[in-house]
């Protein structure tokens, strides 16, 4: 007999023994015992199914490709900018926020944001050794 079936049978007999005073008065105590085994097996199958579904949900995420060399260089250059310039550039160019919204979020005038964007672009161009034609994105 497989171990799992033996465990179910053993659990059913333990339950029968605990309730023997009441069970012994039934016409067919074996039928009660079979019903208990059936219910225990059903419960075990349900728990196993729930575990399988949970395990399927909890699979590790798909691997993310490594960043390109250009991305690594850009992030390194951004880290070298002053915090306000870096934040303004990221909000404007990566999150497509308009200058007015960035100004409101950062609590500064729009002109200050435009200045940070201009200085940040110039600094990034120098850090990345790129010739950039100044183009008013603000």
Query: Is pLDDT of 137 > 60?
Result: no
Report the distance separating Cα 44 and Cα 38, nearest Å: 10
Burial code (b: 16+ CB inside 10 Å, e: under 16) for 14-51 equals: ebbeeeeeeeeeeeeeeebbeebbeebeeeeeeeeeee
Lowest-confidence pick of 55-64, 97-106, 125-134: 125-134
| pLDDT at position 135 | 53
| pLDDT at position 33 | 83
* φ, ψ dihedrals at 32, nearest 5°: -60, -45
Contact between 35 and 63 (Cβ < 8 Å): no
| pLDDT at position 138 | 45
| pLDDT at position 20 | 87
| pLDDT at position 129 | 87
Q: What is the DSSP letter of 129?
A: T
Query: Is pLDDT of 50 > 60?
Result: yes
Contact between 136 and 108 (Cβ < 8 Å): no
* Count of Cβ atoms closer than 10 Å to residue 105 Cβ: 13
Lowest-confidence pick of 32-41, 69-78, 81-90, 100-109: 32-41
How large is the average pLDDT for residues 91-106? Answer: 94
Two tokens at 89?
């550039």
Which pLDDT tens digit goes with each residue over 52-88? 888 888 878 789 899 999 999 999 999 999 999 999 9
Query: Is pLDDT of 119 > 70?
Result: yes
Which pLDDT tens digit goes with each residue over 13-25? 888 888 888 888 8
Q: How far apart are the first and last CA of the chain?
A: 77
Query: Is pLDDT of 123 > 60?
Result: yes
Domain architecture of the chain: domains with CATH:
3-57 (no CATH), 69-128 (1.10.10.10)
């Amino acid at each position: 007999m497989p171990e799992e079936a033996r465990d179910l049978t053993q659990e059913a007999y333990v339950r029968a023994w605990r309730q023997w005073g009441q069970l012994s008065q039934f016409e067919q105590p074996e039928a009660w015992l079979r019903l208990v085994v059936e219910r225990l097996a059903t419960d075990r199958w349900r728990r196993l199914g729930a575990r399988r579904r949970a395990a399927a949900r909890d699979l590790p995420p798909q691997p993310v490709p490594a960043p390109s060399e250009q991305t690594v260089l850009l992030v390194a250059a951004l880290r070298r900018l002053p915090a306000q310039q870096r934040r303004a550039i990221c909000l404007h160019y990566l999150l497509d926020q308009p200058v007015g919204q960035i100004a409101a979020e950062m609590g500064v005038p729009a002109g200050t944001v435009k200045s940070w964007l201009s200085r940040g672009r110039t600094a990034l161009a120098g850090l990345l050794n790129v010739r950039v034609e100044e183009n008013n994105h603000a």
